[in-house]
Amino acid sequence: MITFDGIRNKPQICRVLALSLCMAASCLLGAAQCNGMRLPLPHALAAALPPLYSLAVLAGGVLAYFLTVSSAELPLLICTLVLTVLLRWMFGERDKPALAALIVSGGIVSVVAIFGLAGLVHGIDWLVWLFYTACAAGVSMSAANLRKRCRSGFPLRLCSADALYASVCYVVMLAAICAARVYLISVGEMLSGLLLLLAAKRYRAIGGVLCGTLNACAFLLVDADQAGMAAVLPLAGLVVGYCASWHRSAVFCLYSSICGMGTMLSGQGAVSALTFVNFLIGGMLYLFLPASELMDALIQIQDQESGLAALAGARMEFMSQSIAGVRGSAERIANMLTRGDHQVRVADRVCEIVCGKCRSRSTCWETAQADTGACFQRMEQAGLSEPLESPEGCLRPDRVTEEFLRAKRQNAAARTLAARLRDAQGMLFTQMRVTESLLSRAGHQLQRKYSSESTRFVTETLERFGVPLRAAAVSVSEHQRMTIELYIPSQFTPDLQAITECLSDALRRPLYCNDLDTAGDEHRLVLHSKGKYMIVTAAAQCAVSEEEPCGDGWDRFTDREGCEYLVLSDGMGTGRHAAVDARIVLTNFRQLVQSGMDCAEAARMVNAIMLTKSGEERFATLDVAKICTDTAAVTLYKYGAGPTFIKHGERITLCQAATVPIGILPKAEPYTTVLRLAPGDMLFMLSDGLDDSLYPYIRQRLLQGGDLQALAHSVCAKAQRDAMGIPKDDVTVLAAMITGEEQEIA
């Protein structure tokens, strides 16, 4: 299948499409007449584009002129266009807006002067061409300025400084499309109605008025007789913008009524009626198109707040990299000091201190070297509580044994201090990594596309609803998923369901919320629009003893990006203590991920917490499935976890690897894999209490399909039957299915 991303990654195809688009735009501009005048608009476009694309503009302009221009005007228009393209090639790739205006002005004035000397231009025609030159220079400068914004692709990110240039280009292009009427159909008029409603929906009253005013300018540029119809467009944008929160059908009816009033005021009869019909068709398109998503994909208005957000994000990323540099230097120094700290053997130290000053050294270490060395080796290997026997014939046996004991105690204390130092260093470096991760992800969050208009609308809606806010932010991801982040004072207890329903009704899109997070004196609530895919889950558990709780635990939650997490943890052993360990791992992992930390970094932090939890050896497995509901991509992280079965179509895949559980080693590295699933695919996460002999049965049940909850219970019941009702370990089955629709399982 051909996708937009696939085309964008192929430069040759992109260049061909761009050349074709330039040629089509030049044809439209060349064929357009503005109240009977034919402005040299292809000339302005050729001067604003690079040399290669100016050739496409030349081809389109010449074609349009040959088809639509009279023989008297044709030579002058073609000569001015050719000279403009030649000047563009002479100046090369330089894209300064002032240079583009100079090129088109020089090309037109030079040719007109030559034609004037030849007697082909005279009288008032000079003034007309001077007016044409000024218009073409202004359009060319505007197009050159806007081209800089087009380099990064869609959506176009415009700021207040681009308002004039974007408005000029919008009016000229819309006028050219409106002039290209095919019988009774005007694509430009349909497009103007659609864009007015989209702008009013996305940017409220301000966007509606501005778009309506620009549309009116475009209509007047094409035909001044449509002044009556054009006059109502700013009014329509204003009224529709204020009522943009209404249902789409009500907004369409209101817009149609105002356009009908304009039809009556214009007094043009059939012409106004055709314009009214085209407006209605554009409004009907608005009923079936995703308004907010479409506007976000086309254009983004950047203000001062977005610039400050980008600056704050860059600062956080810089701080994260700085902390990473400090941590790396500290780790290298610590490793160098550890490698350079070689302990002297106890036997060598005792020999140097005691035997080095003894007069019988030559007898013990030369004549009886083998016996003395073997005795010293036995004394070195003996424990602190074991009795020590000095070499036979030693003149200082008490001193030798005393020095051995003292050296052993010093080595034991040094090892204890070194272990404590390594633990402290490990905890410090882990905390620094956590800080790096939090700063880096917070910086990436600030670099997202935040909408000040939507944020203002959400704030006003919740204030009317009686919800006090300390801060709010509305952003849109690359998959056009809306995320609403709300911070509420802890003194107020929010009703999550009521807030979700209120904003869903106001924004006209279904939302769902994560659980309420509390830190200090603030609540945080994150709401997301529905993703393309939904996750259906089911779970079944059985414990070793009915009197004790199951030592396994599982959880399902959503992060700030809208990704679903399925997490399974199996505590060491069975019963209450194992359940406590699993719950500690699950709770801490969830809090860290929802705070904005990466999965691997969150697992490292949980591992450090488990290592310092108590003096006893306590550990738990961690099995994570991160599911992106926009792409159905699944990322598995396994820390000593059991197997995971993946059903993709008719194929069953087993994901399993030997890794270390959480809480055993200072560095816990996971087994990680990424899979791309589709609707109908299943995911079965199993604790290590299931025997390998059950794997064929699980494969068979997955291939048979059926109700997800029934599948999970059947696997759990099979494990109990095979264990004669008394399983050796707790058993947990966590199942999930990818679907395109929201479903729930009790």
Those residues whose C-beta lies under 8 Å from the C-beta of residue 37, and which sit 6 or more positions away, are: 132
Q: Tell me, what's the pLDDT at 746?
A: 29
- 161 falls within a domain: no
12 vs 311, residue with greater confidence: 12
Tell me the residue range of the domain where 59 lies. Answer: 1-153
Helix or strand holding residue 452 (H, E): helix 452-465
147 and 13 in a common domain? yes
Same domain? 108 vs 144: yes
Query: How far is Cα of residue 492 from the mean position of the Cα atoms in its chain?
Result: 31
- 317 vs 22, more confident: 22
Distance CA 601, CA 453 (A): 35
Task: Among 425-429, 481-485, 640-644, name the most confident range.
Answer: 640-644
Phi-psi region of 153 (alpha: psi -120 to 50; beta: other; left: phi over 0): left
Residues 509 and 558 in one domain: no
What's the predicted TM-score (pTM) here? 0.54
Do residues 550 and 460 share a domain?
no
* Domain annotation covers residue 713: yes
What mean pLDDT comes out for the span 373-385? 72
Of 415, 446, 477, the one marking the end of a domain is 446
Q: Which of 230, 161, 158 is nearest to 196 (CA)?
A: 230
Q: What is the pLDDT of residue 304?
A: 46
Do 104 and 24 sit in the same domain of this protein? Answer: yes
Query: Is residue 298 one of the residues assigned to a domain?
Result: no
Q: How many domains does the chain have?
A: 5
| pLDDT at residue 79 in the model | 92
Q: How far is CA 14 from the centre of its chain?
A: 25
The token pair that represents 124 in the structure block: 């008032």
Q: Alpha helix locations (H) across 535-574?
A: none
Q: Which residue has the higher pLDDT, 2 or 39?
A: 39
Taking only the tens place, the pLDDT of each residue in 654-694 is 888 888 888 888 777 888 999 888 888 889 888 877 777 78
Same domain? For 497 and 546 the reply is no
Residue 159 included in any domain: no
The reply to whether 613 and 632 lie within a common domain is: yes
Please check whether residues 104 and 144 belong to one and the same domain: yes
* Average pLDDT taken over every residue of the chain: 79
Closest CA to 589 of 573, 610, 574, 572: 610
Q: Is residue 199 domain-resident?
A: yes
Q: How many helices (H) and strands (E) does the chain have?
A: 24, 18
Compute the average pLDDT of residues 461-477. Answer: 81
CATH number, residue 523: 3.30.1360
Same domain, yes or no: 40 and 138: yes
> How many C-beta atoms surround the C-beta of residue 46 within 10 A?
34
Tell me how long the chain is. 746
Give the whole-angstrom CA distance, residue 130 versus residue 119.
17
Q: Are residues 686 and 543 part of one domain?
A: yes
Q: Per the domain annotation, does 239 fall within a domain?
A: yes
Question: Are both 235 and 274 inside the same structural domain?
Answer: yes
In a domain, 301, yes or no: no
Q: Last residue of some domain: 99, 123, 153?
A: 153
Nearest to 33 by CA among 187, 256, 262, 223: 223
Name the more confident of 340 and 268.
268
β-sheet bridge partners, residue 676: 633
Which range is least confidently modeled, 349-353, 447-451, 596-600? 447-451
Residue 733 neighbours by CB under 8 Å, 6+ apart: 539, 540, 541, 684, 685, 686, 687, 690, 712, 715, 716
Residue 158 lies in a domain: no
DSSP run (H or E) holding 652: strand 651-655
What pLDDT does 4 receive? 46
Last residue of a domain, one of 111, 127, 153: 153
* 2: confidence class by pLDDT, cuts 50, 70, 90: very low
CATH code assigned at 615: 3.60.40.10
For residue 1, what pLDDT band results from cuts at 50, 70 and 90?
A: very low
Q: Read off the pLDDT of each residue in 175-196 and give the average, rounded to a whole number.
A: 83
- Distance separating alpha carbons of residues 99 and 95, to the nearest angstrom: 7
> Is the pLDDT at 636 greater than 90, yes or no?
yes
Answer yes or no: are the C-beta atoms of 146 and 154 closer than 8 Å: no
Rounded to an integer, the average pLDDT of 46-72 is: 88
Main-chain dihedrals φ then ψ at residue 483, nearest 5 degrees = -125, 125
Do 480 and 555 fall within a single domain?
Answer: no
| Model confidence pLDDT, tens digit, residues 720-742 | 776 665 667 788 889 999 887 44
Higher pLDDT, 303 or 527: 527
Which pair of tokens denotes residue 145?
Answer: 């300025």
Asked if residue 348 has pLDDT above 80, the reply is: no
- Give residue 96's pLDDT band: very low, low, confident or very high (50, 70, 90): confident
Helix (H) or strand (E) holding 301: strand 299-301
| pLDDT for 83 | 92
